[in-house]
């Protein structure tokens, strides 16, 4: 289960999606999230699915790899589905004891589950096709106008990128600790949800120790390389907008504009 989490992981490649300016991909991801919450009908989801499949195809990221990221969040998706299914009032379709399923509830539950699935798949493509360094530079460039009011753009961008970068590392550490404790007789799979949660408590101490150790090693490595933050910092490769980036912005603006308009048509 832990190995199925793809948040923060980078899938290397030399495709047109990988080579897009990170600022463009960040802004497109935000537009994607906003447009998802504007949709209030089912048929625009066809366009969303076409968008995800097209980007996945162009980036050459295996679709199985993208779908694998849904597995750890299956529980949340099911909870969202059943809450909307049983808590939405309307025309009763049938009853299962105290639970009542309505026509509106069935519609709403499927609608919200699909929204959550597409949200996870679409946003995961950002980290899968953008390296941590490019992501840091892109976030910093986007936040740079806020430096005028004293916002530390580079530091914020660095913290966000390091957090994303260390998600796979911490998950790998968790998997190693679980296997080590299972070899010593620990049981993480049997019992109900509460007992499984209690069995995970012993993982926290070694996991926190490893996290602090890695943070200390990272700080020492940055100091050894004379890292002093974003002030007067130079870069080996400066990001700059190219023709393909402007074309992508125009296409995505039209696409997301159409999605938003479906709410009012």
For the segment 143-197, what is each residue's pLDDT rounded down to a tens digit? 888 777 877 777 787 787 787 777 777 777 887 888 887 787 777 666 666 766 6
Tell me the per-residue pLDDT of 21-63, one tens digit each, with 9 for 90 and over.
Answer: 999 999 999 999 999 999 988 999 999 999 999 999 999 988 8
Tokens of 236: 């080996």
Q: Are 105 and 87 in contact (CB under 8 A)?
A: yes
Measured over the CA atoms of residue 75, residue 30, residue 235 and residue 230, the dihedral's sign is negative
Residue 9 pLDDT greater than 80, yes or no: no
Nearest to 129, CA basis, from 262, 42, 22: 22
Instruction: Using alpha carbons, list the distances in angstroms from residue 93 to 41, 46, 85, 100, 187.
Output: 21, 27, 11, 8, 42
Q: DSSP letter at 71?
A: G
Average pLDDT, the chain: 83
Half-sphere exposure of residue 38: CA atoms within 13 angstroms, side-chain side: 18
Nearest to 4, CA basis, from 149, 175, 238, 151: 175
Task: Report residue 147: phi and psi, to 5°.
Answer: -60, -25
Tell me the per-residue pLDDT of 252-262, one tens digit each, with 9 for 90 and over.
Answer: 999 999 988 88
For the chain, the farthest-separated pair of C-alpha atoms sits apart, in whole angstroms, at: 68
Q: Per-domain residue ranges for the chain?
A: 1-130+236-265, 152-233
Tokens of 246: 């402007």
Instruction: Using alpha carbons, list the distances in angstroms from residue 128 to 12, 69, 122, 198, 229.
Output: 8, 11, 10, 33, 26
Residue 253 makes CB contacts below 8 A (sequence gap 6+) with: 31
Nearest to 186, CA basis, from 172, 203, 170: 203
Tell me the per-residue pLDDT of 100-157, one tens digit each, with 9 for 90 and over.
Answer: 888 888 899 999 999 999 998 888 888 889 887 788 788 888 888 877 787 777 778 7
């Amino acid at each position: 289960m832990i190995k199925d989490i793809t948040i923060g992981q980078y899938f290397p490649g030399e495709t047109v999606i990988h080579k897009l300016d990170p600022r463009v991909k960040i802004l497109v991801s935000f537009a994607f999230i906003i447009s998802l919450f504007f949709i209030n009908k089912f048929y625009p989801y066809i366009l969303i699915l076409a968008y995800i499949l097209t980007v996945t195809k162009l980036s050459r990221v295996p679709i199985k790899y993208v779908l694998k990221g849904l597995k750890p969040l299956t529980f949340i998706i099911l909870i969202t589905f059943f809450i909307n299914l049983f808590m939405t009032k309307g025309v009763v379709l049938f009853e299962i004891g105290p639970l009542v399923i309505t026509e509106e509830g069935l519609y709403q539950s499927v609608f919200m589950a699909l929204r959550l699935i597409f949200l996870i798949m679409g946003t995961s493509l950002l980290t899968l096709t953008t390296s941590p360094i490019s992501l840091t530079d892109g976030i910093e460039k986007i936040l740079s106008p806020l430096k005028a009011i004293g916002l530390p753009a580079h530091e914020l961008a660095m913290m966000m990128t390091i957090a994303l970068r260390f998600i796979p590392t911490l998950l790998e550490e968790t998997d190693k600790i679980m296997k080590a404790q299972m070899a010593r007789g620990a049981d993480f799979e049997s019992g109900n949800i509460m007992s499984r949660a209690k069995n995970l408590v012993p993982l926290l101490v070694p996991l926190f120790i490893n996290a602090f150790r890695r943070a200390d090693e990272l700080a020492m490595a940055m100091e050894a390389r004379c890292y002093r933050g974003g002030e007067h910092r130079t870069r080996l490769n400066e990001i700059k907008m190219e023709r393909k980036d402007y074309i992508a912005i125009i296409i995505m603006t039209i696409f997301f504009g159409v999605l938003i308009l479906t709410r009012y048509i």
